[in-house]
Structure 1
Amino acid sequence: MPQPDFDDPDLPLAELFAAWPEMAGAFMDRRMLCPGCLIAPFHAITDACLEYDLDEDAFRAEVQARLKS
């Protein structure tokens, strides 16, 4: 199975966490309950940011930085 595209705005969080388990830390650091949530297969980063009232661009930049390290 090919690696998912992180920049895909419709990438489900469940696929994000399956491909990059270490990304769960970025969510947990902000007290987001997305890792393990039953809605993770249906929500993308955009949805999570709306739900938690976060700046999506800033959060994506933080997650992307973790992805590169």
Structure 2
Amino acid sequence: MRRRLHDPDLPLGELMDSFPATIPVFLKHRMLCVGCMVSPFHTVIDACAEYGLEEESFRAELTEAVRGADPAPAPRDREDQAR
């Protein structure tokens, strides 16, 4: 079962495995969580506390990254719909 992006108990390692589009967000903030041996045990709450980041803003960035990686399908044109 895939956990939700904002599950407070979701370990960072699982978050990045399930939502790879979040990795650039960690890198943008110069966070060493990507590939860290502690990532299977730390959560977003832990990482934000460690790096002095505001959790709500950081979670918003993660959400935007995931949304941007999964664009809505392009609308079909009339010719395709006629088939």
Q: Distance in 1 between matches of 2:20 and 2:6?
A: 17
* Deviations, residues 8-50 of structure 1 (Å, cap 9, x unaligned): 1010000001111121100000100001000000000000000
Is 1:51 matched up with 2:60?
A: no
Name stretches of at least 5 consecutive residues in structure 1 with no aligned partner.
none
* Identical positions, percent: 44
Amino acid at match of 2:50: E
5+ unaligned residues in a row in structure 2: which ranges?
69-83
Q: For this pair of structures, how many residues does the alignment match?
A: 68
Give the superposed CA RMSD.
0.8
TM-score by length of 1: 0.93
Please give the alpha-carbon distance, in whole angstroms, between the structure 2 residues aligned to 1:44 and 1:3. Answer: 16
